[in-house]
Amino acid sequence: MYLQITTRCNMTCAHCCFSCTKDGEDMSLETFRAALKLGNKITLGGGEPTLHPDFDTILIESLAATIKSGRLDVVTNGSITKRALLLAHLDKCKLLWAQLSLDKFHDPIDSVVVAAFKDTPLVHAGPSGVKNTTSGKAPKLRGRAIALMGQEVKKLNGFHCMCNDFFVKPNGDIRQCGCDGSPKIGHVENGPVNHERNCCHASF
């Protein structure tokens, strides 16, 4: 389950599939805690999740909910140095899986953060370390990333999904996946009405 705890970001990367800006929406702690009850495999994302004003609380409560029988993933751009280094350390302690998004579209960050995340893949098997979101390929064409490519590429690749798991928006709406226009299938107050985890473009 992907929790989009904020749609704010301090970067404006051209390949951003969510088109996040500095003026976004933060998930309330009430909504977050309701979402936390829906599953024990959680990804904290955004925007840039470490910008959430209650990120420390969200991180601690997510760890408490997943540490015995679950999994916690956090994806960061590494721009908030102290919090990024904390995530890298928690990864090395095998308390969560932390990824640093880093490629040619991102703004520069502290080299200490990059070095810390480059060490994490050696610790345990999992989605840790530096994540090149494009890896020399075209970005998944969602949100702002569409402007990077011509219409022909858009037609060929426009249905790539950013997250094929349940996707919880900051307002608590549960979407079938991370695609633009993905159908709403519930709210954190009552959970998803459909328990299948299929991308809304799975038929393509």
**pTM of this structure:** 0.84
| Residue boundaries of the structural domains of the chain | 2-192
Q: Show the tokens assigned to 115.
A: 């070095």
Give the confidence band of 139 by pLDDT, cuts at 50, 70, 90: low
> In this prediction, what percent of the chain has a pLDDT beyond 70?
77
Phi and psi at 65, nearest 5°, equal: -80, -20
- As a whole number, mean pLDDT of residues 49-67 equals 96
Amino acid 192: pLDDT: 80
The amino acid that residue 162 corresponds to is M
Q: What DSSP line would sit under the chain, residue for residue?
A: -EEE-B-B-S---TT-SS--BSS--BPPHHHHHHHHTT-SEEEEESS-GGGSTTHHHHHHHHHHHHTTT-EEEEEE-S-SHHHHHHHHHHHHTTS-EEEEE-STTSPP--HHHHHHHHTGGGTSSSS-EEE-SSTTSPPP--GGGGGGS-HHHHHHHTT--S--S-EE-TTSEEESSSSTTPPEEEETTTEES------TTTT-
Q: Given a cut of 70, is residue 127 above it in pLDDT?
A: no
Contact criterion met (CB below 8 Å) for 188 and 172 = yes
- Longest Cα–Cα distance in the chain: 47
Query: Per-residue pLDDT for 10 more than 50?
Result: yes
Domain 2-192: state its class.
alpha beta
Q: Find, among 195, 174, 177, the residue nearest to 185 by Cα.
A: 174
pLDDT greater than 50 at residue 46: yes
| pLDDT at residue 128 greater than cutoff 70 | no
User: What does the pLDDT read at residue 144?
Assistant: 72
Cβ-proximal residues to 118 (8 Å cutoff; 6+ apart), any chain: 129, 130
